């Protein structure tokens, strides 16, 4: 009876077997969680300090843009390096460099006259080197965790990212208000040292040799194939990345929320906070109830359904005139987004040849990072021509059309069935 109950729970709730069964994955998970909190604190500390020192919102935006570009570049470079060199050494090197930049920011913050130029340089260096470890860590996990547990890994990743996105800015703001911005930098420095100590316990993780491997399309992966060549040839994983691009374009709803609240809810800041938090609540709910995703016979079809349904829900928000309707819709939107994220992660990890995992994962991670900026830009353009509520509807409708077109064209993804998918009895 106990075993049957455990199986039934696994079909519904978050699969915790990766944490329970793999000591190495536990190390990575704990270190990554600490790192995410530190990165989240940095995203608050750097803008606040830059503005306090310069009084320039333009400079604040410039620093954020430069750091974002460096982060994406670091991820892409990290993917190439992770497929060529020992991934443990790469992870430890990049985390050490990130720790040094945190310490540099802390030293600069306690100087009588902190340097804005130093903040810019250190933030950009941190974005570049700190993100190298992201691709390396992602490429390591499939060698540590069985493929049937990848849904659980994806859900755990989504849960920590969403939770960190909510908690770390709150924590950073509290620390700055109570003490000073330098405390944030020193806390993240200490956290980075802890992550290095944790990750140093990993065994040597050399890059896999380039051996032919049969892909989901039934073809053997050519020796020495590049990541882009693989994506062009493999219609399944290439389709997953294409869906990621569409999802990335849809990441800008948050840019319209303040104007939407101003139009529909008299600019109530409490309502703005609730609407922002609603998506995170939906993400947490979807992560905790992700067990059923492991039993899908057509995960690609569900991914495409979640993509299109998410844009339908997002568009419906534009029609709401009460918070009671808007909040549940945004919770549902957050859940649909997280379901997509978990499924994309699983399909990439289980269908990409090991020698290419670093590069393909780096593209996936870069999409996640760039999504907010690209989507916000698109939403902002639409919002500049019409009222916020209309912009939400039009923006969502454009993306819905794109998503439906993608669903029609990506037949390999739509019809894909895992070769050894679990069967519910």
Residue with tokens 């420095």: 189
Contacts of 217 (CB under 8 A, 6+ apart): 233, 234, 235, 236, 412
DSSP H helices, 141-219, are 150-178, 181-199
Cα–Cα–Cα angle for 300, 305, 310, nearest 5°? 130
- Among left, alpha and beta (phi > 0; psi -120 to 50; other), residue 209 is beta
Residue 23 pLDDT: 94
**Domains defined along the chain, listed by start:** 2-199 (1.20.1250.20), 227-414 (1.20.1250.20)
Torsion-angle region of residue 55: left (phi > 0), alpha (psi -120 to 50) or beta? Answer: left
Give the per-residue pLDDT at 421.
Answer: 53
Q: Which residue has the tokens 């049937």?
A: 148
3-state secondary structure of 214: strand
CA distance linking residue 256 with residue 168, whole number of Å: 23
Q: How far apart are CA 377 and CA 309, in angstroms?
A: 22
SS3 267: coil
Q: What pLDDT is attached to residue 224?
A: 58
CA gyration radius for the chain? 22
Task: Give me the pLDDT at residue 424, please.
Answer: 39
Q: What is the pTM of this model?
A: 0.84
Q: Tens-of-pLDDT digits for all 425 residues of the chain? A: 455 445 555 567 889 999 999 999 999 999 989 988 888 888 888 988 999 899 887 888 788 888 888 988 999 899 999 999 999 999 999 999 999 999 999 999 999 999 999 999 999 999 999 889 888 888 899 989 998 899 999 999 888 888 887 788 778 888 888 899 999 999 999 999 999 999 999 999 998 875 545 555 555 555 556 777 888 889 999 999 999 889 888 877 877 888 898 899 988 878 887 888 888 889 889 999 999 999 999 999 999 999 999 999 999 999 999 999 999 999 999 999 999 999 999 999 999 998 899 989 888 888 877 776 778 778 888 888 899 999 999 999 999 999 999 999 999 999 999 886 544 33
Give the pLDDT of residue 38. 84
Phi, psi of 287, rounded to the nearest 5 degrees:
-65, -45
Query: Please, is 224 exposed, middle or buried when counting C-beta atoms within 10 Å of its C-beta (0-12, 13-18, 19+)?
Result: exposed
Of 75, 109, 68, nearest to 94 by C-alpha is 75
Letter string b/e over residues 111-133, b meaning 16 or more CB atoms within 10 A of that residue's CB = eeebebeebbebbbbbbbbbbbb
């Amino acid at each position: 009876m106990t075993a049957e109950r455990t199986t039934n729970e696994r079909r519904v709730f978050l699969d915790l077997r990766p944490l329970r069964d793999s000591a190495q994955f536990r190390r990575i998970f704990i270190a990554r969680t600490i790192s995410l909190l530190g990165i989240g604190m940095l995203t608050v500390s750097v803008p606040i300090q830059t503005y306090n020192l310069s009084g320039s919102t333009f400079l604040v935006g410039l620093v954020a843009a430069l750091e974002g570009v460096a982060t994406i570049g670091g991820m892409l470079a990290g993917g190439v390096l992770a497929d060529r060199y020992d991934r443990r050494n790469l992870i430890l090197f990049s985390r050490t460099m990130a720790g040094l930049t945190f310490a540099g920011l802390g030293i600069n913050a306690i100087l009588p006259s902190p340097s804005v130029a130093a903040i810019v340089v250190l933030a950009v260096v941190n974005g570049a080197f700190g993100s190298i470890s992201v691709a390396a860590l992602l490429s390591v996990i499939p060698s540590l965790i069985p493929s049937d547990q990848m849904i659980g890994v994806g859900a755990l990743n989504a849960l920590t990212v969403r939770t960190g996105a909510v908690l770390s800015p709150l924590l950073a703001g509290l620390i700055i208000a109570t003490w000073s911005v330098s405390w944030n930098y020193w806390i993240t420095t200490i956290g980075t040292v802890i992550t290095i100590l944790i990750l140093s316990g990993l065994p040597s993780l050399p890059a896999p040799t380039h051996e032919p491997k049969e892909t989901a399309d039934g073809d053997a992966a050519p020796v020495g194939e590049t990541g882009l060549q693989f994506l062009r040839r493999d219609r399944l994983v290439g389709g997953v990345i294409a869906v990621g691009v569409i999802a990335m374009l849809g990441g800008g709803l948050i840019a319209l929320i303040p104007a939407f609240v101003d139009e529909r809810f008299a600019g109530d800041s409490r309502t703005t906070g609730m609407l922002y938090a609603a998506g995170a609540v939906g993400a947490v709910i979807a992560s905790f109830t992700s067990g059923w995703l492991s039993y899908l016979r057509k995960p690609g079809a569900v991914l495409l359904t979640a993509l299109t349904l998410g844009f339908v829900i997002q568009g419906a928000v534009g029609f709401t005139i009460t918070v009671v309707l808007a909040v549940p819709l945004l919770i549902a939107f957050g859940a649909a987004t997280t379901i997509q994220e978990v499924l994309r992660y699983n399909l990439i990890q289980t269908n990409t040849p090991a020698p290419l995992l670093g590069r393909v994962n780096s593209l996936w991670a870069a999409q996640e990072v760039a999504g907010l900026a690209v989507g916000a830009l698109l939403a902002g353009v639409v919002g500049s021509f019409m009222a916020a509520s209309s912009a939400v509807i039009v923006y969502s409708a454009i993306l819905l059309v794109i998503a439906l077109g993608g669903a029609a064209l990506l037949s390999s993804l739509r019809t894909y069935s895992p070769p050894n998918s679990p069967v519910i009895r």
